[in-house]
Amino acid sequence: MLGEILTLLEESSHVSAQGAAEQDLLAEIDAAEQRCDRQYEQLVAQAEAAFKKAKLSFAAGQSWDQEYEQTKASIRERAAHRIQAKL
């Protein structure tokens, strides 16, 4: 997805076209992030069910959530820097 954004920014020479393209891509990024969030939530729910079935504590779930959010923030930051470099 980031590659698509960078390519589009390189190809877009008109400022208004670039702004419209940027809005479209931001919407795509948001949708992709929501899909990832849903997949993550499903995996966590499956893991939690497996832990409960085995009568184990699922305390690790909190650290998984923190790590997931930190990873998302890091990816967003790197992507934003790369996009800004193309503007």
Domain residue limits, the chain: 1-85
pLDDT above 80: residue 18 = no
pLDDT of 11: 64
- 16-20 long-range contacts (CB < 8 A, ≥24 apart) are 18/87
Query: Is the distance from CB of 47 to CB of 61 less than 8 angstroms?
Result: yes
pLDDT of 28: 83
Residue-averaged pLDDT of the chain = 83
∠ CA 4-5-9 to the nearest 5 degrees? 115
Q: What is the DSSP letter of 87?
A: -
pLDDT of 16: 57
